[in-house]
């Protein structure tokens, strides 16, 4: 996969280097994280590092030297090959592989980072490095920065500042290329089909955990890396816990099941879909009313995912429909604008309506720049996910009606992945059905 796609990474690096304009960027990979004893979590590469290199090993550092007009501009520090280590832990590309297969102008052992980095940084105006995330690399970078600053005061040359790579990379990552859109379609498609599998087999399942197994088994079977995030399989009142991941309750036929799950592909593009379905095949009257409100809010908000609009518009449109719907059934009262302004709906809807989606599930990129909302552009991908959660965990705000018992334990969210195009929004996850007539059996 990588070898046929290295051109994509090369193009990104070229763009990044041109924007760096005299600065040197240091982008560390992720490291393995201990799970317990000597066992580790499955490796997950750092998204920025991946985006620029396509290199999927831990304990590596990518260096971008825009102060060099040619020659050594992209340097990789990697774990060197070691036959015995590789027998235990798996294949490594090593120094030679980093140059040959990943097109580094020069590669070194990660063990030489501290020794070689000062020389490479020389001649750069500023250092680009993400402070506060990687203590061991940060120490090396700050030592170099200290001596650069000293050089600056003694003879007038040296890097004069540390900048965040986010300034350069977030904007690049926010707009998806044609290749990325293709991958995101695939991630959404596999994720949507997993939700369909749940819908079609719900009648034979008795526990949330079985649904999780079904979803995640399907992700793996389809060749994905696994779930993009901890799958949420929440029946009944559990759905009112937004990040419920225990997934171990018995399923009751008269309750709803909220499933928030998506896969992550081998190159880390993610799906993120939520569906809420009646476990016994029939919505109760109360469940149906709430579902209809959320569905209308979601569909109307999706229509707003167009060039020139923004994430606030999408949220506000969904929120207004939710509030008016809740008013119509007596769960809120008062003037709609007033309710929205003072937040007295937040015991029933306590999150935003969506987020960017890409290599990170909550992908990088600003939603606002100071006073101004970031306008939607062609190639942006975002989720649209309104919900209503009725429980007595959050006290009813003053002036709002007490919640009748018949509503409690209903938690509904509907979430799709949406691509902003030149024309209508493209719903990447549309293969997962959501109409009431499709969910009842
Ligand atoms: Mn989401």
Give residue-wise pLDDT tens across range 253-278. 999 999 999 999 999 999 999 999 99
- Of 171, 206, 237, the last residue of a domain is 171
- Separation in Å, CA 38 to CA 33, 35, 43, 231: 10, 8, 14, 25
Q: How far is the CA of 12 from the centre of ligand 1 (A)?
A: 26
pTM: 0.96
- Asked if the model's pLDDT at residue 2 lies above 70, the reply is no
CATH code, domain carrying 143: 3.40.350.10
Catalytic: 385? yes
Co-location of 198 and 322 in the same domain: yes
Catalytic: 355? yes
Q: What is the pLDDT of residue 57?
A: 97
Co-location of 104 and 232 in the same domain: no
- Asked if the model's pLDDT at residue 4 lies above 90, the reply is no
Q: How far is the CA of 27 from the centre of ligand 1 (A)?
A: 27
Mean pLDDT across 162-169:
96
Q: How far is the CA of 355 from the centre of ligand 1 (A)?
A: 7
Share of the chain above pLDDT 70, in %: 99
What gap in Å lies between CA 309 and CA 319, rounded to an integer?
A: 16
The one catalytic residue in 57, 126, 180, 415 is: 415
Co-location of 83 and 192 in the same domain: no
The one catalytic residue in 355, 363, 416, 417 is: 355
Q: What is the pLDDT of residue 155?
A: 87
Q: Considering its fold, how many domains does the chain have in total?
A: 2
Q: What is the pLDDT of residue 156?
A: 87
Q: What is the pLDDT of residue 140?
A: 97
Catalytic: 363? no
Co-location of 165 and 262 in the same domain: no
Catalytic: 404? no
Residues 56/30, Cβ–Cβ less than 8 Å? no
Give residue-wise pLDDT tens across range 8-66. 999 999 999 999 999 999 999 999 999 999 999 999 999 999 999 999 999 999 999 99
Q: How far is the CA of 382 from the centre of ligand 1 (A)?
A: 9
Catalytic: 38? yes
The one catalytic residue in 57, 126, 138, 260 is: 260
Catalytic: 272? yes
Tokens of 232: 């949420």
Q: Please, what is the average pLDDT of the chain? A: 96
Q: How far is the CA of 86 from the centre of ligand 1 (A)?
A: 37
Co-location of 411 and 270 in the same domain: yes
Q: How far is the CA of 103 from the centre of ligand 1 (A)?
A: 35
Catalytic: 243? yes
- Of 121, 146, 171, the last residue of a domain is 171
3-class SS string, 6-56: HHHHHHHHHHHHHHHCCCEEEEECCCCCEEECCEECCCCCCHHHHHHHCCC
Q: How far is the CA of 351 from the centre of ligand 1 (A)?
A: 11
Co-location of 189 and 243 in the same domain: yes
Residue 162: give the domain boundaries: 2-171
Share of the chain above pLDDT 90, in %: 97
Q: How far is the CA of 191 from the centre of ligand 1 (A)?
A: 13
Q: What is the pLDDT of residue 1?
A: 44
Give residue-wise pLDDT tens across range 139-158. 999 999 999 999 888 988 89
Catalytic: 413? yes
Q: What is the pLDDT of residue 344?
A: 97
Phi, psi (deg, nearest 5) at residue 274: -125, 135
Give residue-wise pLDDT tens across range 314-334. 999 999 999 999 999 999 999
Catalytic: 372? no
Co-location of 72 and 187 in the same domain: no
Tokens of 142: 């700050």
Catalytic: 125? no
- Of 140, 171, 202, the last residue of a domain is 171
């Amino acid at each position: 996969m990588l070898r046929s796609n290295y051109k994509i990474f090369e193009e990104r690096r070229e763009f990044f280097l041109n924007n760096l304009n005299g600065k040197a960027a240091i982008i560390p990979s992720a490291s393995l994280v201990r799970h317990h004893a000597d066992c580790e979590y499955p490796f997950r590469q750092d998204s920025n590092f991946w985006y620029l290199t396509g290199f999927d090993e831990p304990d590596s550092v990518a260096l971008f030297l825009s102060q060099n007009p040619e020659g050594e501009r992209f340097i990789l520090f990697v774990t060197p090959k070691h036959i015995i280590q590789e027998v235990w832990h798996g294949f490594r590309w090593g120094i030679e592989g980093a140059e040959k297969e990943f097109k580094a102008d020069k590669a070194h052992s990660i063990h030489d980072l501290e020794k070689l980095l000062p020389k490479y940084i020389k001649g750069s105006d500023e250092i680009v490095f993400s402070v506060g995330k990687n203590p061991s690399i940060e120490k090396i970078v700050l030592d170099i920065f200290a001596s650069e600053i000293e050089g600056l005061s003694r003879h007038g040359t040296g890097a004069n500042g540390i900048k965040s790579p986010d300034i350069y990379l977030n904007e690049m990552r926010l707009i998806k290329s044609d290749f990325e859109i293709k991958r995101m379609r695939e991630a959404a498609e596999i994720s949507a089909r997993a939700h369909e599998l749940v819908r079609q087999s719900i009648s034979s399942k008795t526990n949330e955990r079985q649904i999780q197994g079904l979803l995640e088994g399907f992700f793996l079977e389809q060749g994905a890396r696994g779930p993009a995030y901890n799958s949420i399989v929440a029946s009944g009142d559990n759905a009112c816990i937004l990040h419920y991941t225990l997934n171990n309750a018995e399923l009751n036929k008269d309750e709803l099941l909220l499933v928030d799950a998506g896969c992550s592909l081998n190159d880390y593009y993610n799906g993120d879909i939520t569906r809420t379905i009646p476990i016994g095949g029939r919505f109760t009257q109360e469940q149906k009313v709430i579902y209809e409100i959320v569905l209308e809010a979601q569909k109307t908000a999706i229509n707003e995912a167009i060039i020139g609009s923004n994430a606030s518009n999408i949220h506000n449109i969904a929120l207004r429909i939710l509030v008016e719907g809740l008013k119509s059934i007596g769960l809120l009262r008062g003037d709609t604008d007033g309710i929205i302004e003072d937040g007295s709906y937040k015991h029933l809807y306590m999150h935003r309506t969506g987020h960017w989606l890409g290599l990170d599930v909550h992908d990088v990129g600003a939603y606002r720049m100071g006073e101004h909302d970031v306008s939607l552009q062609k190639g942006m991908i975002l989720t649209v996910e309104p919900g209503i959660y009725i429980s007595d965990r959050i006290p009813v705000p003053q002036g709002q009606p007490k919640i009748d018992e018949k509503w409690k334990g209903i938690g509904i969210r509907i979430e799709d992945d949406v691509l902003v195009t030149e024309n209508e929004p493209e719903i990447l996850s549309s293969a997962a059905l959501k109409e009431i007539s499709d969910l009842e059996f």
